[in-house]
């Protein structure tokens, strides 16, 4: 009972996602910004590669997200990360602010630089096709 | 001026030093819960002094090896909550020292050094994963589980 109350409290505390976009709309926006069409194969390569140009604890996207975006990942502190692939997690890529926040943080952590609009389009295009 | 007076008052009224680490007031601030809780449990502010939270919130671009940057408004809001609910004193930690991790505090090391087995550590992954062993941690309840 106590646990149910806690779950309800946590649900109430979780802010609703903005649901102000979709993977397709994000891809179109990033494509327009980049001036090039999205390339899912390039997105896959970028996502699965070991970069090591960012922070030492996060050499790759797969460090936390694993190499299977349809499965859950895990933060370095042991917390579950919901799957990135929209087919496994429909909430993905439906909130512009959230997408920008995490690209901003994680490209810096993994690559040591910001991702380009083309790279964002590529990654979302690959993930959306899974 | 008024704001700094109010802030000063809120610090005076802040929690007394932790008398008992088994129970601390839970996080009651939505943005703190949401943003800090995205990667790890949102730790209760009473575990660290204000100077520690200030230092942590000033270094989010390299937050224990990851970029955890927030927009300015959210960062300021969370920092204000943490500061006004911070510990006033931490046992065995002089005011000249600014601990950056709860798991570095002397009482924490004492409590966990003896009791945490290799198997528990394997399950928890890190000392930041309170809920792995303390099932009530999110609610500020740290009785031994």
Q: What is the pLDDT of residues B61-118, one digit of tens each?
A: 999 999 999 999 999 999 999 999 999 999 999 999 999 999 999 999 999 998 899 9
B93 phi, psi to nearest 5 deg: -120, 110
Helix B72-84 to helix B50-58 angle, to the nearest 10 degrees?
A: 170
- Check CB contact of A35 with chain B, cutoff 8 Å: no
Tell if the pTM clears 0.85, that is, is over it: no
- What is the predicted pLDDT for the residue at B114? 86
Q: Give the distance from CA B138 to its chain's centroid.
A: 12
Greater pLDDT, B16 or B97: B97
CA distance B26 to B88: 17
| Inter-chain CB proximity A78 and B68 less than 8 Å | no
CA distance A42 to B56: 36
CA distance B104 to A73: 27
- What is the predicted pLDDT for the residue at B16? 44
- What is the predicted pLDDT for the residue at A13? 45
Sorting pLDDT into bands at 50, 70 and 90, what band is B2?
low
- What is the predicted pLDDT for the residue at A18? 75
Q: Pick from A10, A78, A109: which is nearest to B66 by CB?
A: A109
Q: How far is A128 from chain B (nearest CA, A)?
A: 23
Sorting pLDDT into bands at 50, 70 and 90, what band is B17?
very low
A64, A75, A95: which to substitute to probe chain B, counting the most B Cβ within 10 Å? A75
The position carrying tokens 């891809």 is A27
> From the CB of residue B22, how many other CB atoms can be counted at a distance below 10 Å?
14
**Taking 80 as the threshold, does the pLDDT of residue B136 lie above it?**
yes
Sorting pLDDT into bands at 50, 70 and 90, what band is B19?
very low
Residues of chain B contacting residue A74, judged by C-beta atoms under 8 Å apart:
125
Q: In 3-state terms, what secondary structure has residue A112?
A: coil
Q: What is the mean pLDDT of chain B?
A: 89
CA distance A28 to A38: 8
Q: In the predicted model, what is the mean pLDDT of residues B123-128?
A: 92
CA distance A84 to A93: 9
CA distance B84 to B100: 18
The position carrying tokens 């927030």 is B70
Residues of chain A contacting residue B40, judged by C-beta atoms under 8 Å apart:
75, 77-79
- What is the predicted pLDDT for the residue at A16? 59
B43, B67, B120, B141: which to substitute to probe chain A, counting the most A Cβ within 10 Å? B67
Sorting pLDDT into bands at 50, 70 and 90, what band is A21?
very high
Task: For B41, name the nearest residue in chain A, comparing CA atoms only.
Answer: A79
Q: Tell me what percent of the residues of chain A surpass a pLDDT of 90.
A: 85
| Inter-chain CB proximity B30 and A109 less than 8 Å | no
Sorting pLDDT into bands at 50, 70 and 90, what band is A93?
very high
Closest-CA residue to A111 (of A65, A64, A47): A47
- What is the predicted pLDDT for the residue at A17? 66
Q: Pick from A76, A78, A109: which is nearest to B67 by CB?
A: A109
Alpha-helical regions (H) of A1-130: 2-13, 23-34, 40-48, 62-65, 96-111, 117-128
CA distance B60 to B45: 16
Burial of B98 (0-12, 13-18, 19+ CB in 10 A): middle
**Taking 70 as the threshold, does the pLDDT of residue A14 lie above it?**
no
Q: Give the distance from CA A88 to its chain's centroid.
A: 13
- Check CB contact of A11 with chain B, cutoff 8 Å: no
Residues of chain B contacting residue A76, judged by C-beta atoms under 8 Å apart:
39, 65-66, 125-126
- Check CB contact of A5 with chain B, cutoff 8 Å: no
- What is the predicted pLDDT for the residue at A34? 98
Q: How far is A35 from chain B (nearest CA, A)?
A: 28
- What is the predicted pLDDT for the residue at A3? 52
Q: What is the mean pLDDT of chain A?
A: 91
Sorting pLDDT into bands at 50, 70 and 90, what band is B143?
confident
Task: For B66, name the nearest residue in chain A, comparing CA atoms only.
Answer: A109
Greater pLDDT, A127 or B10: A127
């Amino acid at each position: 009972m106590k646990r149910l109350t806690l779950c309800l409290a946590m649900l109430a505390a979780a802010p609703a996602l903005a649901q102000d976009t979709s993977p397709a709309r994000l891809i179109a926006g990033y494509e327009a910004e980049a001036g090039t069409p999205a390339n899912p194969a390039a997105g896959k390569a970028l996502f699965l590669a070991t970069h090591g140009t960012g922070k030492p604890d996060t050499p790759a996207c797969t460090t936390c997200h694993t190499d299977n975006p349809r499965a859950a990942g895990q933060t370095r502190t042991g917390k579950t990360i919901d799957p990135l692939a929209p087919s496994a997690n429909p909430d993905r890529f439906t909130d512009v602010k959230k997408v920008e926040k995490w690209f901003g943080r994680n490209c810096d952590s993994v690559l040591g630089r910001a991702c380009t609009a083309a790279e964002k389009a590529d990654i979302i295009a690959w993930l959306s096709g899974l | 001026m008024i704001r700094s007076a109010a802030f000063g008052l809120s610090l005076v009224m802040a929690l007394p030093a932790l008398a008992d680490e088994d129970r601390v007031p839970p996080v009651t601030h939505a943005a703190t819960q949401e943003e800090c809780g995205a990667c790890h449990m949102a730790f209760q502010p009473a575990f660290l002094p204000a100077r520690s939270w200030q230092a942590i919130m000033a270094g989010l671009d390299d937050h224990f090896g990851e970029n955890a940057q927030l927009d300015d408004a959210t960062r300021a809001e969370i920092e204000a909550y943490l500061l006004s609910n911070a510990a006033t004193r931490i046992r065995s930690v002089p005011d000249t020292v600014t601990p950056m991790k709860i798991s570095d505090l002397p009482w924490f090391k004492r409590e966990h050094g003896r009791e945490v087995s290799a198997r528990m550590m394997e399950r928890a992954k890190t000392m930041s994963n309170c809920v792995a062993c303390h099932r009530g941690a999110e609610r500020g309840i740290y009785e031994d589980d």
